[in-house]
Amino acid sequence: MMKINIKTITAFLLVYFLTAMSSYATKLPAYILQTIKTDLPKADIRFDGLVTLPDGTVYLPVLPSNPKRNPSGKVVSTYPANKKLSQLPDVVLFDSNFALLKVIKTKDGKLTVTDTKNIPFIVKTGLFPQDMLVPPGLIIPEDMQIMMGDLKIALQNSSVNEIFKGSAEIKQAKEDTKIIPVPYMAGKTLLVTTLDSKLINVIPTDSTVPKFTLKLDNLPKFVQPVCDDKYILVAAAGKTYIDVADVAQEVLAKKIDLSFQPTEIILNKDKDKAFVAVGDDQSVFLIDLKTMALQEKIKIKGYPKNIALSDDNKYLVYMDKNTGDIYTLALDGTYLNKYVYNASNVSKIAMKGNCIYLLSRTENELQVIDTEIKDIIYKQPLAQKPVDMQLIDNKLYILCASNELDVFRLDDYVLENQVRFPAQGFSKKLVHVPNTNILLITNVSDKRYFVYDYEKNIILQTVKTSVFINDLQLLNKRLK
């Protein structure tokens, strides 16, 4: 007769049950969130439940196998004993049997948790969230393996961390690469991509060269910081997913699979949603940035290109890349999709009120389309090859590849200013530095960018770089 190992079966059933329910339980309970935010107000809670603090402290959440009813979120036990959550104990047990385990370092620098003898048995019967990415190199004691379930641990040599294995710092012996940034730019970081490289160049704003580079699988389609620069969304050519890079933990925390190649991304005004266009499907994908998950696939007319949001975030506007047709998409839940106008060679779109503003790259003009009469109501000649546009305070700041910035007032349709830049080559991108009067102006064939104050109408700084800039994103922090 075959012997049945009761402990083995019990462990198996526990893992099976908790794994099955973990997809529903990854989001931390509201009462736990409230306690954490009260006792650790500066804590950041990642979409998979990982808790991090500004000093680098990391807590792993443990989902209870036997949650108690009517919990309040009270801390009932800690190790060391009688500690407050604000004192950062190694083990925290709440009244629901939910727990937090602090990641600590051994004497030889390896990451682990406290000795299992210090962890209550009820915690050891719990389970880590099954979509959680733990810090690279974390070692879990053998008698805690049941808590892992099917969780994949990213080791130091795992490909999941490849993006953060950048090249060594670039050094130049003959030229001083340090600069003093203008006050608005101090302590920030530029993420720069080029036309012909798989690398993301990470350039501190007090330097002219990359501190390190992040390697992608292919040429980047977009690089988008989100969630107060805690994460970076990255799409590469030929890939059907978006990588979510955790900046603090220096890992790729998640992949958001769309089944189609993502090509463009824009964020809503609240910065909690992202709209993603794909190159080979008549759809726009809505990403929930709080959970880093696909919220909805929205079917639309045409194949979207040059996607933009109206200034009130009530509409998405885009061009069908195959026909040049311009459409609006209502974002009130009805997703009413309306044809507006047919245009050609459009490089950028903006929308305010009932008007859509198009940059015509070949006609060298701004075209104003009334969405009600579905026709052009005004044309404004511009410098050659308009390529980018920012809507700020009822004005359009229009960058032309011929190294000119044209400023167009929307209240009276007047070209207020034409600013020439002392650059060679092809101006490419406008980046508005949040909460400032600063625009960063890049050039795809001239190794420098300008720091421009649009209120004072002056170039505050010209910064040389060691790379050509195709796209640039700004992080409001300095990376390591």
Q: Which pLDDT does position 163 carry in this prediction?
A: 58
In this structure, of 11-15, 318-322, 438-442, the range with the lowest mean pLDDT score is: 11-15
Task: Write out the H or E segment, with its range, that includes residue 430.
Answer: strand 427-432
In our burial notation (b when 16+ CB lie closer than 10 A, e otherwise), range 143-182 reads ebebbbbebebbeeeeebbebbebeeebeeeeeebeeebb
> What is the domain partition of the chain in residue ranges?
6-148, 218-299
pLDDT digits (tens, 9 = 90+) for 393-449: 999 999 999 999 999 999 999 999 999 998 777 899 999 999 999 999 998 888 899
Task: Identify which of 141-150, 163-172, 185-194 has the greatest average pLDDT.
Answer: 185-194
Q: Which pLDDT does position 226 carry in this prediction?
A: 96
Q: Which pLDDT does position 172 carry in this prediction?
A: 43
* d(C-alpha 99, C-alpha 82), whole Å: 15
Left, alpha or beta for 451 (phi > 0: left; psi -120 to 50: alpha)? Answer: beta
Q: Which pLDDT does position 251 carry in this prediction?
A: 78
Q: Which pLDDT does position 131 carry in this prediction?
A: 76
Q: Which pLDDT does position 477 carry in this prediction?
A: 86
A 10 A CB-CB count for 263 gives: 19
In this structure, of 72-86, 135-149, 197-211, the range with the lowest mean pLDDT score is: 135-149
- The more confident residue out of 43 and 146 is 43
In this structure, of 230-234, 266-270, 461-465, 475-479, the range with the lowest mean pLDDT score is: 475-479
- The more confident residue out of 479 and 187 is 187
Query: Confidence band (pLDDT; 50, 70, 90) for 250?
Result: confident
Mean pLDDT, residues 163-176 taken together? 48
For residue 276, pLDDT over 80 is answered with yes
For residue 348, pLDDT over 90 is answered with yes
In this structure, of 23-27, 92-96, 377-381, the range with the lowest mean pLDDT score is: 23-27
For residue 269, pLDDT over 70 is answered with yes
Q: Which pLDDT does position 22 carry in this prediction?
A: 38
Q: Which pLDDT does position 175 carry in this prediction?
A: 53
Query: Confidence band (pLDDT; 50, 70, 90) for 26?
Result: low
In this structure, of 170-179, 228-237, 391-400, 460-469, the range with the lowest mean pLDDT score is: 170-179
Q: Which pLDDT does position 108 carry in this prediction?
A: 85
| CA 21 vs CA 25, 93, 94, 437: distances in Å | 6, 20, 20, 49
A 10 A CB-CB count for 32 gives: 22
CATH architecture of 218-299: Beta Barrel (2.40)
Q: Which pLDDT does position 401 carry in this prediction?
A: 92
- The more confident residue out of 331 and 132 is 331
Mean pLDDT, residues 213-236 taken together? 91
Q: Is 6 helix (H, G, I), strand (E, B) or coil?
A: helix
For residue 136, pLDDT over 70 is answered with yes
Mean pLDDT, residues 439-465 taken together? 92
Average pLDDT in the chain: 87
CA 240 to chain centre: 17
Instruction: Give the strands of the sheet with 304-309, arranged side by side.
Output: 304-309, 315-320, 325-330, 337-342
Mean pLDDT, residues 461-476 taken together? 92
For residue 328, pLDDT over 90 is answered with yes
**167 and 189 Cβ atoms separated by less than 8 Å:** no
Query: Confidence band (pLDDT; 50, 70, 90) for 473?
Result: very high
Mean pLDDT, residues 365-385 taken together? 97
